[in-house]
Amino acid sequence: MPFTNTISSFLQFLQERYPDILVATREHLTISVISILLSTLIAVPVGMYLANNKIKWLHSAVFSIANLFQTIPSLALLAILLPLFGIGMKPAIFALFLYAILPILRNTYAGFQSVDQSIVEAAKGMGYSASQRLFSIQLPLAFPYIMSGLRMTIVYIISWTTLAALVGAGGLGQLIVSGIGVNKQELVLAGALAAILLTVLTDQILGFIEKRVFRKVKAN
Amino acid sequence: MIKFKAINKTYNDGHQVLKNLNLTINQGEITVLIGPSGCGKTTTMKLINRLITPSSGEILLQDENIANLDPIKLRRKIGYVIQNIGLFPHMTIAQNVAVVPRLLKWDKKEINAKVDELLNLVGLDPNIYRDRYPSELSGGQQQRVGVIRALAANPVLILMDEPFSALDPISREQLQDELVRLQQEIKTTIVFVTHDMDEAIKIADTIVIMKDGEIVQAGAPEQILRHPANDFVKHFIGSKRMQSVQAMQEPTVDDVMADQPAVIYPSRGLAYAVKLMESRKVDSLFVIDKNNKLLGSVSIYQILDQYKDETKLVADVMKPAPHVVLSGTSLSAALNLMNEHQLSNMPIVKQEHQFVGLITRGSVISHMTELYTSEHIGGEIHAVH
């Protein structure tokens, strides 16, 4: 049976090459995590600031720029970044960082918008300072939105990180690229499966954390 | 307690919401600001905790100009209840009630004791409700929590912005009763904004009626009902409510009289008079001329005395009515007169002795019955706005 043969040869391949797969996974995670952390650090505060300000032109300016990054094709973006950052992890991280900004920003903004204004006003009227309002009322209430935006972004950033191999950043994409180059299907399969597994697993873990931390938040 | 001095408020778009407002709010009273939407009542209230800043004029809270106070500290001294309840959905009931004491960094034990005390005060068992979340409570229960949250830090003053208007009528009535009871217990000063006149009459010590950024009338509910300053106030109170108040306070003889008493012309004979009494089931008739002028009365006894003499007419046996009251006289005056002279009835006349009606014991009783069995007061009539 060719099918059983394929499976057994694939398992054998895994056994031989698993150290390489682990290294690629680690690189993959490093790229994803750094780019997401960076974009969260930028997008969440910006979203918070925008939601608490009513400066119209600033809103449209920020969202247009974030949208613009989103529309650049990923391959083209990587190509543009190469002369600026050289080869390696840097251009990859930077590109993914740009892609992650918009969804996180949008969800943070939406989360803050979703907080009932009368609740914020009640807090103000009772003597919460602006920062107390932000951190003990608005942020906890907006958190489910921010979290779901983050979850979604993390999932697709992990899967896009496979592209990072094209600029020599390594990661699971490297297995796929090499597999194509030497026409070794096991390599392609291993890279793809590992990326899928990583995505699903991360999503599950995040979902679990979300539930544990926010089971207390019962918005009406 | 609070003095507004020559307050003006104009928004950036040029709309003037408050025009030279002067108002004193008394310590320990419930003051209700009422008026149609856009009259500036909520703006007036929000000036007190500096959610809104006046364009000119000053506000004194306990003789201190609030413009010189730190708004955040000021707000922590003032309880605040809003229309949409505004409980924090991510905090338990106990945490919600304890919000201001926590901001003021009270001792934990002290906070817990206060929370339990307040929950008991509004009939929410602390053992059951402490650790629940707002979404697990009914609207009425939530607003009870909203009210005690405002009380938690022993505020000098509580502001309530249409706090019960989003509730169903039954919860609303209950909460109004509870508020009045609470206020009598704790003697706090409360400034209450509403557009519901029934609510205002029910809870207010002082009602301030506003229109277009100005105070139209301020006074005790009783005073406003009895002496509305102008047509706007009359209209706002609602004519039906005013009528019932007037009826309660001073019914006139006209409200009570039976307006179709049995009458006879003086030219009729005695036999006819007896027939008429039989058919109307009365023992006396009032004698009037063609112009409806009251001439006197005849009783069955006077007729029977002279009945054998067939030539006698009503004119010969009647007696002038010794006691009459003018239409528009108060009922109490008429009843006093009837009592004094042991009369079973009292004719009512207009100018020129025009006969208009009659008060009898029966008509008084039926009027009273009508008054006390129908719910005129606090009923279905709402102010137009």
A90 at the B interface (CB within 8 A)? no
Distance CA A17, CA A178 (A): 13
| Alpha carbon distances (Å) from B276 to A164, B284, B285 | 116, 10, 9
Distances (CA, A) of A56 to A53, A112, A130, B50: 8, 16, 21, 26
Chain B residues closer than 8 Å to A116 by CB: 84, 86
Edge-to-edge strand ranges of the sheet holding B325-326? B325-326, B345-349, B355-360
- Nearest 10 degrees: Cα torsion B175, B177, B178, B182: 140
Q: What is the ipTM of this complex?
A: 0.75
Q: From CA A123, how far away is CA A138, in angstroms rounded?
A: 10
Q: Is the pLDDT of residue A110 over 70?
A: yes
Chain B residues close to A137, C-beta within 8 Å: 88
How many angstroms separate the CA atoms of A131 and A45, rounded?
A: 13
Nearest Cα residue in chain A from B79? A126
Residue of A nearest to B92 (CA): A216
Closest Cα in chain A to B149: A126
- Cβ within 8 Å, pair B80-A129: no
Residue A131 touches chain B, beta carbons under 8 Å: no
Contact B159 A125 (CB under 8 A): yes
Instruction: List the pLDDT tens digit at each of the 385 positions of chain B.
Output: 899 999 999 988 888 899 999 999 999 999 999 998 889 999 999 999 999 999 999 999 998 899 999 999 999 999 999 888 889 999 999 999 999 999 999 999 999 999 999 999 888 999 999 999 999 999 889 999 999 999 999 999 999 999 998 888 888 898 899 899 888 888 899 999 998 888 998 999 999 999 999 999 999 988 888 888 888 888 888 766 666 665 566 677 887 887 778 888 888 888 888 888 888 888 888 898 888 888 888 888 888 888 888 888 888 888 888 788 888 788 888 888 888 888 888 888 887 788 888 888 888 887 777 766 654 444 444 444 4
Residue B210 phi/psi, 5° resolution?
Answer: -120, 155
Q: What does the buried/exposed string (b/e) look like for A9-32 if buried means 16 or more CB atoms within 10 Å of the residue's CB? A: eeeebeeeeeeebeebbebbbbbb
Contact present, A165 and A173 (Cβ < 8 Å): yes
Cβ A121–B82 below 8 Å, yes or no? yes
A123 interfaces chain B, CB cutoff of 8 Å = yes
**Bridge partners, B192 (sequence order):** B32, B160
Q: Is A132 in the B-facing interface, judged by CB distances under 8 Å?
A: yes
Touching check for A1 and chain B: CB below 8 Å? no
- What is the DSSP secondary-structure string of B324-356? -EETT-BHHHHHHHHHHTT-SEEEEE-GGGBEE
B199 vs B245: CA distance, rounded Å: 16
Q: Do A126 and B103 touch (CB under 8 A)?
A: yes
